[in-house]
Amino acid sequence: MVLLVLYLPIAVVDVGRIKNAVGGMTAQTWRGDANDWLNLLVQVVVPIAITIWMLTGQRRLVMEQNIMRLLEK
Average pLDDT across the chain, whole number: 77
Burial class of residue 12 in the structure, from the number of CB atoms within 10 Å of its CB (0-12 exposed, 13-18 middle, 19+ buried): exposed
Residue 30: pLDDT band (50, 70, 90) is confident
Residue 18 pLDDT:
53
| Whether the Cβ atoms of residue 17 and residue 61 lie closer than 8 Å to each other | no
Instruction: Tell whether the model's pLDDT for residue 51 goes beyond 70.
Output: yes
Residue 29: pLDDT band (50, 70, 90) is confident
CA geometry: angle 27, 11, 53, nearest 5 deg: 170
Residue 27 pLDDT:
73
